[in-house]
Amino acid sequence: MEIIYDGAAVRVVSGADPLAINTAITRIVYGAGADFADLQTAFAWLSRRRITSTGQVTLQLAAGQFTSSAAIGMSHPDLGRVRIIGANMTGALPGDADFAVTGSSPAARAADALTNLTMLRARFATELRFTGGAGISLVGPLGLLDQVLIAGDGSTAPSSTGGRGLQIANSSISMGRVAVIGFGGAGILVRSSIVAISNRIYVVACAEGLVSAAGGAVDFSANLYAYGNGGAGVRATSGSLVDGTLANGIISRGNGGIGLTAADAGVVNAGAGSIIRQNGGVGVDVRRSTINLGTPTISNNGSWGIANGHSMVQILSGVFASNVNGDSVVTDSGNTALQSCTGLGTLSPAANTLGNRNGYNGVY
């Protein structure tokens, strides 16, 4: 005889627990003949069950577009043993050349969003579409999220997710081959959580792109893409981390604000051909933080290529071109190391001299 808590009530069990999942099982969600009509129903079913150390639950999402006006909350004591996987991709994972980026103005971003949504729908077989500001909220360590297009209608409220596409709070998650597009809040918000990205992630046409905040950590082992978001493409703030080492790149283009930013002890490490281009504001903006970029192209941004305030910035083999403000790099009370970079315009202060309250641009 055993006394257990099943997530909703305390029960006395004699013999094998019929509500314990001890093996790997798969359940189909959405579509004709599915085990569950939607993810909300699937998680309601899981809430009455526990997944043991030998068990695993795969929620296999059917192909198709499935619309919800209600937020999907993912929470379970054994969420780390749950995998959510969309149907097999119907096309190759997009690369930078597959996205439309005609500019950073509101009109250009709106037109590009329609083109890019059509392109993503041709690649992803499963689309979870949200209306009225709803999205996905994760609380707990999800085992895997893979092969899913998450689309919004641009609304921000009323919703517990605040118009965010994927909100990850006090959690951990492994994810790859996920695209988030068209949300009135941040496309992906990571707060006090650990996110391991194993394959390409796309954040497109949201109020902001990917935001890591409040000690969040995003570790990506494939390129991270941000296009046409209203504010920053990628942001790390308040002691958070966005880390691809120098082996994986950040491609941030056509965003209305800053391409890549870190503030208040944020840290960003990226390389492998990062592209920070055609953004409406500064290409790379760093405030009281650290950014290390290997082989980036920083060009055609609406202000400086790099703006460094009280921060440490290192750029290895960077290519600078056609940033609107005449200064490629402006450093105020910080240190910017520019090693083997080409196309540098005016530097403020001038190369290898102190200025702007002991700011320093070291050119090597």
pLDDT digits (tens, 9 = 90+) for 133-149: 999 999 889 999 999 99
Backbone angles phi, psi at 352, to 5 degrees: 60, 35
Class of domain 218-364: mainly beta
Q: Which two tokens stand for residue 172?
A: 């951990």
* Residue at 34: amino acid letter: A
Kindly tell me the sign of the dihedral angle through the C-alpha atoms of 225, 268, 206, 221: positive
Q: What percent of the chain has pLDDT over 70?
A: 94
Q: Where are the domains of the chain?
A: 218-364
Question: What is the model's pLDDT at position 10?
Answer: 61
Question: What is the model's pLDDT at position 13?
Answer: 47
Q: What percent of the chain has pLDDT over 90?
A: 89
Supply angle C-alpha 358, 361, 363, rounded to 5.
Answer: 150
pTM, whole model, 2 decimals? 0.94
Report the distance separating Cα 66 and Cα 120, nearest Å: 15
3-state secondary structure labels for all residues of 209-253: EEEEECCCEEEECCCEEEECCCCCCEEEECCCEEECCCCCCEEEE
In angstroms and rounded to an integer, the radius of gyration of the C-alpha atoms of the chain is 22
Q: What is the average pLDDT across 120-140?
A: 96
pLDDT digits (tens, 9 = 90+) for 336-354: 999 999 999 999 999 999 9
Cβ atoms of 224 and 251 within 8 Å: the answer is yes
Residue 168 has pLDDT above 80, yes or no: yes
